[in-house]
Amino acid sequence: MSKRNKAKNFASPKIKYSPSIHPLPADFANQVLDLEIQVETQESIEAFKSLIELYSQAIEYYESIGDAKYKYYQERMIRFIQKEDNVLVANTENSFTSPEKPTERHTISITSRQLFNTPPENPFELAPETRKTENLTQKRVAERVIKQHDLDTSATSKEIQLNLDSQDIALEHRISSRKKNRNRSSSPRSPNKFGSFNYLDMSNISSNDEPPKRRSTEGESDKSGGVPKPLKYEIFEKELENIMEKYVLLKIKSTHQIRKKYKEQIQDVKGMGNNEIIKQLVGEMEKSRQQELDELERNIDEQRKEEIRKIKEEVHKTKEEK
């Protein structure tokens, strides 16, 4: 090779042009304009396909010669496809009623994949944009489901807590009522309650008869109090049984409500698809369900223990008073 040819080759720019890539038609701009008008005014699928072909040719041609115009046509094609997507899909679905055009939508899909899967060096990929939009939509749906789930969980927790609080208040009322009843039952011992009768007045009782009469009177006073000493333990045992039964039933009912709520919500989420976002969301909901069940069990156990403790304290106070 001569020095002149070597110098010529060295000076020439490196381009990606291939003989298989044809130059753009002379009336390329007019064709693009006419097709865009047809698609926008007539909503023609054939015009849309031809327009995509022209955009693809422009992208390949300008890419091959190193001209940055290919980016302009890439962006223009993206905007145009996004703008016309809903209209074209609707027209394609309507075209299924015609026996001659049952595969138009499929043809467009294949053409788009061929355009975007086999470009030159810097491909214009529609598929990632589509996936990004789909993932964004699913993410928003998942966020709404999680928000609704949190609201339902909070409402259920408040309802359970109110139930436990109301039971605790009822227990306080029962204990207070027992105190009042015991105070009333001890009234025969007071000289102010029965006028001239004084239980402690022993001036008219002989020394020999005093011990039997005091024991007899004390026995009657205990009976008038309504609760003999051994009977208090029976009441405590019965209260303990009632407490245990109440909280067992409460735990069963509350656990069933939580599991039912999560089961319905998880089924709704699974109905939206089977991709990674949905699987991740289901996993988070299952974790939340277990955490809520654990918290419920702790709360119920604390309430039950507190109620038992109050009953025990009441029994000890009664012993000390005697």
pLDDT digits (tens, 9 = 90+) for 179-217: 666 566 555 444 444 444 343 344 444 444 444 444 444
Q: Are residues 239 and 280 in the same domain?
A: yes
Closest CA to 92 of 48, 134, 40, 137: 48
Q: Are residues 104 and 28 in the same domain?
A: yes
What pLDDT does 154 receive? 65
Q: Are residues 146 and 292 in the same domain?
A: yes
Report how far residue 147's alpha carbon sits from residue 165's, in angstroms, rounded to the nearest whole number.
27
What pLDDT does 257 receive? 92
What pLDDT does 2 receive? 46
Domain count, the chain: 2
Domain, as residue range, for 40: 15-124
Q: Are residues 152 and 70 in the same domain?
A: no
Q: 184 and 224 in contact (C-beta within 8 Å)?
A: no
Report how far residue 251's alpha carbon sits from residue 257's, in angstroms, rounded to the nearest whole number.
10
Only one residue has tokens 């097709």, namely: 35
Tokens of 176: 């207070």
Q: Are residues 113 and 259 in the same domain?
A: no
Report how far residue 57's alpha carbon sits from residue 50's, in angstroms, rounded to the nearest whole number.
11
Report how far residue 210's alpha carbon sits from residue 276's, in angstroms, rounded to the nearest whole number.
90
Q: Are residues 145 and 255 in the same domain?
A: yes
In a domain, 183, yes or no: no
Q: 214 and 120 in contact (C-beta within 8 Å)?
A: no
For 147-182, the pLDDT digits (tens) are 666 676 666 666 666 666 666 666 666 666 766 665
Q: What are phi and psi of 318, to 5 degrees?
A: -65, -40
Q: Are residues 106 and 248 in the same domain?
A: no
This prediction's pTM: 0.32
In a domain, 189, yes or no: no
Q: Are residues 247 and 154 in the same domain?
A: yes
In a domain, 215, yes or no: no
